Structure 1
Amino acid sequence: MASMRDIKRRKSSISSTQQITKAMKLVSTVKLQKAKSRAEETTPYFNHMYATVSSLLKRTGNIDHPYLNKRDEGKKVVITVTSNRGLAGGYNSNIVKLIANSDIPKEDAQIYAIGSKGADGLKAKGYEIKVDNSEIMEAPTYDDAREVCDSVLKAYEEGEVNEIYLAYTHFKNTVVHEPKLLKLLPVEVPEEDGVEEETPKNTALMSFEPNEEEALAMIIPKYVTSLVYGALVEAVASENGARMQAMDSATSNAEEMISDLTLKYNRARQGSITQELTEIIAGADALS
């Protein structure tokens, strides 16, 4: 059984750790409120952007464009969005597992990492880290997303890669965060649930001015950039939500450990007092 001194020292150490986790929880809560508001304000725009481009592509007809055509040769780029800091539960490891368990072969994958934790985890699993833009996660902006997309789209247009994916954590609410893997290019038109009634309005082909190729060359990069920026915004909110939950659990666990150690300390102290009384009584009996 541990001595009273050891128990007291351990209890003091856990109390210090508990103060740290409480402070980190408070900081994460404040950051989460700001990130959550930002995510809620920007999500409608990205949802409408996705719906608009999907609707547009459904009515383009058979257009021969690099952003729409599938290719067999080339690498598969995965833009990963994680954090630069740990202590966020399974937030970072879930993205690493998502990519590792996907259908993307490790030898064909090139990682464009945004967040050092994801880059380190994928590098340890043998993935090629093509570009590391971890500094973006400190304060992500639309311009940062555009720079990343410009470099990736350039490699796609030059034929170095044949597919582009985006791995990030979708922010549903404060306690629910869902890792997602989206295919950005070549653009695929999502299938409708159920049968839509055919009318002249929804079956007429889209009319482009000046032409389809130039219009798509402008629209698709903005579409991809918007999705990447939306992922950055949601990832920041998800990170702070995950860290807040992790620190809350750590604080609760520390409280339970302190209670358990307090009980053990009191028992050890009571045993020590009982032993001393027994020795005093035994000594008094011996003298008498």
Structure 2
Amino acid sequence: MASLKALKLRIGSVKSTQKITKAMKMVAAAKLRRAQDAAQSGRPYAERLTAVMETLASKVATSASGPLLLSGTGSDQKHLLVVATSERGLAGAFNTNIVRAARRLADELTAQGKTVHFHLAGKKGRVLKRFYPQDVTGDHDLSGVKKVAFTDAQGLAQDLIARYEAGEFDVAHLFYARFVSAIVQEPVGVQIIPVPLATARTAASSPTSADAVVAYEPDEEAMLAELLPRNVAVQLFRALQENAASEQGSRMNAMDNATRNAGDMINRLSIQYNRTRQAAITTELIEIIAGAEAV
């Protein structure tokens, strides 16, 4: 049985941990509101741009001289999985769920005979190096980023586009966590390179777009040269914003659970401490009474 001193030290240690987790919960709650507003404000623009690019991909005639970001390489043998995670831990299953979704697709593609590589955006995604040591070919450093800006996404987009044009991969998939609520964060995997064809979702949201006539001003090449790289950057920026909100929501829940668990542990240790103390007092009383009777 633990001594009274050891129990008292452990209770003090757990109380200190509880103060830390409670403070971290409050900090995450404060950051969550700003991150949530930023993520929700950027959704309409990103979703509309996605719909426009998907429609263009299904309408514009592709050719060997056309933009690769729109027409693709003509193959889907080499896949790049861009895994966006956080730089810090203590956020529950936030990072684990994103990595698990990426691994699931990687295993499916590998089973089909495809070549799979990973490009990481966020330190916590480096756990993939333990499972695919030879397949992690890129690591975008976001450690110095306190608040996600569009320039951060542009830097990552330029890196991906350069690798794509160099022929390092045929298809790029982006994995991140979509913010649903402070309790629910949904891991998402979407294709960002090349632009996918219009889906049923796009057609349903724009019922007249199928018959629309697309006119370019000043010309098709100049318009697509501007839109296509920007679309990649916008989708990456959206993922980073969604991740920022999801991370804070997941961390707030994780720290709330940790605070509650610490409280339960303090109660159990306090009961054990009181019982041990009472047992020691009872033993001393019995020894005193026994000694008195002996005299």
- TM, length-normalised to structure 1: 0.89
Partner AA of 1:168 in structure 2: Y
Tell me the CA shift for residue 161 of structure 1: 1.5
Q: Could you say which residue in structure 2 is the equivalent of 1:45?
A: 45
Structure 2 equivalent of residue 24 of structure 1? 24
Task: Go from structure 1 to structure 2 and tell me whether the alpha carbon gap of 1:155 and 1:74 turns closer, same or farther (over 3 Å shift).
Answer: farther
Q: Which runs of 4+ in 1 moved over 4 A?
A: 193-196, 198-201
Aligned 8 A contact 1:115 1:137 in 2: no
Q: C-alpha offsets along residues 14-51 of structure 1, whole Å, 9 cap, x if unaligned? A: 11111111111111111111111211222222122223
Note if contact 2:177-2:186 (Cα within 8 Å) is conserved in structure 1: yes
Report how far residue 52 of structure 1 moved.
2.8
Q: 2:167 aligns with which of 159, 167, 191?
A: 159
Take 1:263 and 1:76, find their aligned partners in 2: how far apart are those partners?
A: 57
SS in 2 for 1:183: strand
Question: Where does residue 92 of structure 1 map in the other structure?
Answer: 95
* 1:134 correspondence with 2:137: no
Aligned length: 284
Q: Identify if the C-alpha distance between structure 1 residues 242 and 275 changes in structure 2 by more than 3 Å, giving closer, same or farther.
A: same
Percent of residue pairs bearing the same amino acid type: 35
SS in 2 for 1:153: helix
RMSD: 2.5
Q: Verify: 1:7 aligned to 2:12, yes or no.
A: no
Q: CA deviation at 1:13?
A: 1.0
Q: Counterpart of 1:52 in structure 2: which amino acid?
A: V
Once the two structures are TM-superposed, the CA of residue 190 in structure 1 deviates from its matched residue by 3.9
Of 115, 123, 143, the residue aligned with 1:116 is 123
8 A contact 2:51–2:202 mirrored in 1: no
What are the ranges of 5 or more consecutive residues in structure 1 without an aligned counterpart?
none
Q: Aligned partners of 2:43 and 2:209: how far apart in 1?
A: 27
Larger CA deviation: 26-35 vs 213-222:
213-222
1:105 aligns with 2:102: no
Per-residue Cα deviation, 1:203-238 (whole angstroms, up to 9, x for no partner): 244233454444333222111111110111111111
One of 72, 75, 79 as aligned partner of 1:72: 75
